[in-house]
Structure 1
Amino acid sequence: MEVLFYFLNWTASFSHIDEETGSKMDAHNLATVITPNILYIKEGGHEQGDAYFLSIESVNTLIEEQSRFAEVPVEVQVIYRESGLANASADITSKDVISKVEACIKQIGGVDAVVVNNSTSPSSGSTTPQNLEEPHRPLPIRVNTSDIAALPVPGQEASIKRVNKTEMSPVSP
């Protein structure tokens, strides 16, 4: 779902670029088109007034706030690191994960201790890992493709010809 909503957010970023370019598919319009296919009421087969509009708003929020929904809380990162799950093999079972997490929580002193340790300063022996949060990838940069032919291609400067102003004939650089 993270990838899907990231893609929809990226798609919505191309709406209304300027008066001549861009599409009309902003986040709300994408939500309006997609919602009936993924969130629908099974009873009777028709939408139930407010529920229809609220489901559109829900999907719109998921599209617009997709980066916030993909964040892993610092408390979970602490438990992940301290429990040794970061170094666990790929074929670990869910029972093993649960037992490691429970053992880690007991060792730290309970779930409340993770929150308390998270709010302490690094100099006081906190178990909060430093720099665990990866920076979010920025949205792609839009390029005006109408001017792309005028831009030189890196590594091909020797193949670009210039015109001599007096003779108006191509001359090699």
Structure 2
Amino acid sequence: MLSKVIPATGKLLISEPFLNDPNFKRSVVLMAEHSDEGTLGFILNHPSQLLLKDLVPDLWQADFQVFIGGPVEVDTIHFIHRCYDKLNSGEEIAKGIYWGGNFETLKILVNNNSISSDEVKFFLGYSGWGIDQLAEEINENTWIVSDKFNQDVVFSHNEEELWREVIINLGPKYAHVSNFPSDPSLN
């Protein structure tokens, strides 16, 4: 599987179907930052058992699912959103998708029920690659880079089907891969 799309901020990394790394098995990663110094992103489809209210005590009503963004700095909370009109902050990383912003404003919006789970996604930690590390992994066919997705994919609540959906969106050349079993020994 050769990826023809070049990695960049706002694109997706889709793990190859038999990647054995438990941190990235059947992962879809949104790249929030990609530069000559490395890459940072968030795994969109690995939910934790935690809710935001479990991690931030003054968000007593925050029943937002928290996702495992990756294996780096898992003691930090990050968020992406598509509600710049409400937050008036954040760095646009893809059309209409923002990374971070004013957390105090976000807390007020959450506590006032003025923001919904299809507008914001929270992560513990992040995924990171050093200089040239991601390029090497792409050359080894560990990742497919995609720019074929919309905002709804990023904020999807169907985590189990997300990997399959983005593979199918790559077109007929890749669609058959979506049916591969997660454990090839079961075939």
TM-score with structure 1 setting the length: 0.25
Select the structure of larger CA radius of gyration.
Answer: 1
Higher relative contact order (CA 8 A, sep 6+): 2
TM-score with structure 2 setting the length: 0.24
Q: Larger % of strand: which?
A: 2
Q: Larger % of helix: which?
A: 1
